[in-house]
Amino acid sequence: MKCRRRYMAKTKTEKVQREIERLEREKAKPKRSGYLVYFIIIVSIVCIADELATQIGLQMQNVVASQLFAPIVGEEYAVARMSIVATIAGCTVGIASLYRTLADHFGRKIFLVFNTLGFGIGLFLIGICTNIPVYAAGVIIIQFFIPHDMQQVYIQECAPAKYRATLTNSIGGIASLSVMLIPILRNLFLKGNDLSQWRMVYMVPAVVALAVAIFALFFVRESDAFVESRLRYLRMTDEERKAEKKEHNKQENGVGLIAAIRFCFSHKQIRWAFVAGGFISFAQLVCYNYETILTFGYAKQFLDNGATMEVARTNAIGFVTQALLLFAIGSAIMAFISGVLADHVGRKPAVIAMCATNLAAFLIFFFGANQAWNPYIVGLFCGISVGSYWNGASLITLMCAESCPTNVRVSVAAVQPVVNGMIYMIASTSLTVLSNIMGDTAIGKICFIVSVPGMVLGLILLLVKVKETNGADLCAVRGDEYEKNAQ
């Protein structure tokens, strides 16, 4: 038995030494001149693939509903029934969080590649599907890999502190502009009232995602913050680790979901940021259903003239495609504005501004679609509404990252969508139930009625319970500074 223990200890020591040597080689790699620019280009490409995978299902919502679901459940409830698949896919968030925490042990790079490869495979499945089960499988795979946003972690850990929000949201803005590819593909493959080639709209981003995954594998280097943090941990003796565990911040030495959960719920700053973000996430109802809101807004003019639901929905497709061309520009504008605003006036004021813009722009594009306004104007405000929410939400995620140490940063980021998702389920379930009762045409009104109370409550909690994090040093933060500042 003693021999076996000695053998296991020796094996463990050898594994640790090999990992140290590997990380030292990674650390010793020279950074090329202009590395920051090179880094931004690579991460931007990954962000583009991620954004296309995120938005394509939302911008093709009614098309897929009419082609796959309407023949089975009818035109009036096609989107409502399809929302059940999205709700089921959302249940993967818990399993996905367990997977995401591994990045605090094995590094950021390998999961950046896996995630990009994963949503590429999901898009490919939808691109070849001919029935609801295969479509559902593709949606579930995409939903599993999309939330991890490992590229955001790269930016947060590699960007200069004073430009962190600007750089994060500027790259997000570039990715938002790339979403223009989706309406261009709609124009290319959905000609007139013929929607039979809708799968090709999915195949193009699928190929892009798979290519980007291979590209990232060979051209992205590991995060410096992770390398430094991991080396520090590996070089500690058992005695040093035991001594550290007696300190208040013993969570810094652990990685994984359990350590992250313990850290999150023992630190008021992160705990309240999670809860506030969860209620603000009620606005995701608009972000997940804007294409349906646009479609039935423009369909109203045809329904009022006596057209059937099927004819009205099909006739509205062209207006929606035009609107989506400027959607990307509206979304990108808010990405650039929110980042600069957050670095100059603070994270919290920027979140408040984004939420207010989200609601105001929603009312404009909802009313405009129902009154058959110029689709380019309507699409611009639709993009502003959706972009405002996502960039405001990304600032809350950034605040959480700026409030925790490197060793648990990805694990904490994995806990956040679980907490947010549990709270968001109140809004999601409300929409699913009400839309299946009232029909697809009521989805826009339901989204607004459910979103507003949640956002207001979330903003109040953010203002009262969460401390500002602008300018935090991610390499030095230990997680308890904000509690000390509050005392």
- Per residue in 415-433, pLDDT tens? 887 788 889 889 988 988 8
443-465 and 409-438 are packed helices; what angle lies between their axes, rounded to 10 degrees? 150
pLDDT in tens, 133-183: 999 999 888 888 877 677 777 777 777 767 776 777 778 778 878 888 888
pLDDT tens digits for 366-417?
A: 999 999 999 999 999 999 999 999 888 888 888 888 887 766 676 777 788 7
350 pLDDT band (50/70/90 cuts)?
A: very high
Please determine, for residue 314, whether its predicted confidence score (pLDDT) is greater than 70. yes
* Mean pLDDT score across all residues of the chain: 81
How confident is the model at residue 148, as a pLDDT?
A: 67
pLDDT at 250: 46
The predicted pLDDT at position 248 comes to 42
At 244-293, the pLDDT tens digits run 655 544 444 445 556 667 777 778 888 898 999 999 999 989 888 898 89
Between 344 and 173, residue with greater pLDDT: 344
Between 105 and 395, whose confidence is greater? Answer: 395
